[in-house]
Structure 1
């Protein structure tokens, strides 16, 4: 049997074909546009997602027996607002996770409704990227569109709805809407009232590995897949990536160095830190997780290399940093807040900065500062987790930035943790395929599937000497944001 994982990302949809042993047979990626209609806005047309997903599925399976496709599931960009009318037409472009227009609504939720109340109802406070502030923005700024709403959903769930006709979501993705009572896994009636949302607008709630339906006849015909091909609920991209790296069961950790950066720690207990600096979400394995999210991670490197240096020679630019004695000795620091910051500062107005440059600073120093700045930003979230008594000693790592041996070494020493890579580095898409296999009964549960399928590849250990140097570096780094906060 064959299983497909659909990773609905911000710039492209990545589709992965896997057999029941976990072997990856094919990967296809299809890009779609993103629009920025105003400064700080970020939108996409959900119909573009669907068109490219269908095209990708056909290309993915063209050299395989399509009758053997037994299941499909998802990882998807979180928090996006997709709204449909009574005829299932998309009312307006989806407002994405990295859209910053909702500062007024975020402030209203945090300061008028109150952070304590929000945390009591949902386990979280409002962040500008979350779905609930977007709903309030739509109501205030586009009342004619708000009045047309009959269905309100998240990005990957739009694809699932088009596939099955079943209006569904999973707990991990729903956790990022600020409408879910995360601890008790149900919609919060009080939050729905606060946001003027009717419960009939919201999808049914499922565990990530739970079957929600099968392909509609016309979709199965177009794809050439069996009509009884099951579709599982799937997960938010970070939870799906965690499945794909084996980060399941209590006490596991995964770091993602993608466009955004995340620290993801699993738990069998529901935990909330006193300042809600970390997100407290449901996990795709049926448990819970703490997550710190940086809005800019590998994208910082992409910005520095392509937009500033006008280079795509990532390998050679890193070579000077591999010289003995460079790591831990940099006097240049970088604050990685190119798009504001979420965890732990919750400050959309925060901005990036280089600090400590002198006449002898060169491009290698600047690149090293970018790598270290992202690692220090992730360390900020780890420190919050430690305050809750959660201190993992090792972590897996995934995302485009994880391909850099040097960056992994920096992360291992800044975090003072063993850093493991896995054989299949396809994160959310692989996690989605695993969830589909579980939903179809190939494995008893998600933990059993991860134990059987996910395999480690390389390990990077921290060095006591470098750890000591980076402790001093981090002590300086964490002073910079408070010093600059009033200047943004």
Structure 2
């Protein structure tokens, strides 16, 4: 019998990661292509979107040196959210893509809030608007580059552009569309009334298909370039957070996700049709059909740890850097860290606040600082989990992925602060694995997402909270939450001296 495989590709901020997965869910090959983003001005983050396309082609070429084209059943994508790619009527890119971490749009954010009002925005999209989202980027182009705006035929998200280049077809799907803040999460349609209020032509929005929907096959130009005679089917894919959740076994509300990378995410399925978002948390569509999730984000999670590593021991890797972390104690001998290096998303939506160490004294050690940073990052995610619990979502079994899942002490800190059981994947591959699952579902390898979840995903033994630690962290979390109100006006005043 001929062996068959699917490919999952994750289009990240700094690299495209590809994995090849067999029918048993084993990752048999992986490949990565790195690239750089451009920062032409302070706060700007851009890239030529063809860099993503060429990275995808390079990965395909590599994979096809390992496997026959007839062995590849399908290909799907995970992609960084909120980016803006615009093309003209001829399909040519008009300007570099504006990325999720671009912060140039503060004026547009305020104009959106003033023009349509927060209540209308929440009613139309179920979300508030922030600088990183797609809608203010589109309005920035309209306000600052009208010559480019007038050429727009379609806008796309990053992964959707790569799918378009591979197949010639323009689509998006609910999980990425939700992050544009132009999409109604509940009806899964473009927010036409909102777009009309902002004088945006709805026809520039791509058509919506399911995340595992068939997008098309590789164009004849690409099959010729790859020197293959058989074709490979492409399925649309999903937003990176949704694919990360899918690839971690989050297909219902029995488990929640905590992902600690550069930023930090807490995510839980929320299918209550009566749920009304107040704007303090994100409410998006999952890449699993008919499912939605709420998500909180801390902007400087692993970024905070990297910042401290660069200050204290830049030659150390993270394993070495965190050696002997248990020589410090819960609370870092009276030290609290707030991870607001880049401002904060959930629950404050505050771009101006900055981080702080509270409680430094002459006896503070570098290990205390390291422990306080780990705890502060985790407290920040606890802010999001608290919102979930206040919305009657039970958060008892958490799957931890990313850098926060690679250190046993940090996993115990998560269990203690979250007061929940923490488990990890036996083979974590991040959002690329979720993309591979979407390709497998598109190819109809499995009857349901529950079935593929059971077949492909296994977990390590869970870590339980330690009662004495949990009690101490409950007290420390109250102190942590008080720091924002105390320091926000101070850090705002200090900004004039930068």
Question: Which TM class, normalised by the smaller chain length?
Answer: over 0.9
Which shows bigger deviation, 109-118 or 417-426? 109-118
Q: Which runs of 5+ in 2 are unaligned?
A: 493-498
Shift of 1:251: 4.0
Task: Name the CA distance, whole Å, in 2 between partners of 1:50 and 1:307.
Answer: 36
Per the alignment, do residues 224 and 483 of structure 1 end up closer, same or farther by CA in structure 2, a change over 3 Å counting?
Answer: farther
- For residue 424 of structure 2, give the secondary structure of its aligned residue in structure 1: strand
Aligned residues: CA RMSD = 1.6
Task: Name the CA distance, whole Å, in 2 between partners of 1:307 and 1:29.
Answer: 29
After superposition, give the CA deviation of every residue in 1:181-231 in whole Å (9 maximum; x if it has no partner).
110000111122233322221111112122122221222333456654221
CA contact (8 A) 1:41 1:100 kept: yes
Per the alignment, do residues 391 and 447 of structure 1 end up closer, same or farther by CA in structure 2, a change over 3 Å counting?
Answer: same
Match of 2:323 in 1: 319
Shift of 1:329: 4.7
Task: Name the CA distance, whole Å, in 1 between partners of 2:255 and 2:151.
Answer: 43
Q: 1:294 aligns with which of 291, 298, 302?
A: 298
Shift of 1:457: 2.2
TM-score of the aligned structures, taking structure 1 as reference length: 0.96
Task: Name the CA distance, whole Å, in 2 between partners of 1:92 and 1:309.
Answer: 40
Aligned residues: 487
CA contact (8 A) 2:74 2:439 kept: yes
Which shows bigger deviation, 435-444 or 59-68? 59-68
- Does residue 81 (structure 1) correspond to residue 99 (structure 2)? The answer is no
Which shows bigger deviation, 461-470 or 53-62? 53-62
Task: Name the CA distance, whole Å, in 1 between partners of 2:274 and 2:294.
Answer: 7
- Does residue 303 (structure 1) correspond to residue 307 (structure 2)? The answer is yes
CA contact (8 A) 1:69 1:225 kept: no
CA contact (8 A) 1:67 1:224 kept: no
Task: Name the CA distance, whole Å, in 2 between partners of 1:108 and 1:285.
Answer: 34
Q: 1:96 aligns with which of 96, 99, 107?
A: 99
Shift of 1:449: 1.1
- Does residue 444 (structure 1) correspond to residue 411 (structure 2)? The answer is no
- For residue 41 of structure 2, give the secondary structure of its aligned residue in structure 1: coil
Shift of 1:374: 0.8
Q: 2:65 aligns with which of 52, 62, 66?
A: 62
Shift of 1:451: 1.5
Per the alignment, do residues 458 and 194 of structure 1 end up closer, same or farther by CA in structure 2, a change over 3 Å counting?
Answer: farther
Match of 1:420 in 2: 423
Q: 1:396 aligns with which of 395, 399, 420?
A: 399
Which shows bigger deviation, 410-419 or 55-64? 55-64
After superposition, give the CA deviation of every residue in 1:254-308 in whole Å (9 maximum; x if it has no partner).
1111121111101332464553111111111111110111222112212221355
- Does residue 434 (structure 1) correspond to residue 434 (structure 2)? The answer is no
- Does residue 474 (structure 1) correspond to residue 472 (structure 2)? The answer is no
Which shows bigger deviation, 299-308 or 288-297? 299-308
Task: Name the CA distance, whole Å, in 2 between partners of 1:366 and 1:445.
Answer: 46
Shift of 1:364: 1.1
Per the alignment, do residues 461 and 220 of structure 1 end up closer, same or farther by CA in structure 2, a change over 3 Å counting?
Answer: farther
Q: 1:380 aligns with which of 383, 399, 402?
A: 383
Task: Name the CA distance, whole Å, in 2 between partners of 1:226 and 1:15.
Answer: 22
Match of 2:495 in 1: none
Q: 1:53 aligns with which of 47, 56, 59?
A: 56
Task: Name the CA distance, whole Å, in 2 between partners of 1:319 and 1:148.
Answer: 55
TM-score of the aligned structures, taking structure 2 as reference length: 0.94
Within a 5 Å distance, the mapping from 1:70-469 to structure 2 comes to 70-223=73-226, 227-270=230-273, 272=275, 275-286=278-289, 287-306=291-310, 309-323=313-327, 326-469=329-472
Per the alignment, do residues 220 and 252 of structure 1 end up closer, same or farther by CA in structure 2, a change over 3 Å counting?
Answer: farther
Task: Name the CA distance, whole Å, in 1 between partners of 2:483 and 2:177.
Answer: 34
Shift of 1:111: 3.7
Task: Name the CA distance, whole Å, in 2 between partners of 1:369 and 1:391.
Answer: 27
Match of 1:19 in 2: 22
Shift of 1:66: 2.8
Q: Which runs of 5+ in 1 are unaligned?
A: none
Task: Name the CA distance, whole Å, in 2 between partners of 1:137 and 1:474.
Answer: 38
Per the alignment, do residues 222 and 100 of structure 1 end up closer, same or farther by CA in structure 2, a change over 3 Å counting?
Answer: same
Q: 2:32 aligns with which of 3, 23, 29?
A: 29
Which shows bigger deviation, 231-240 or 56-65? 56-65
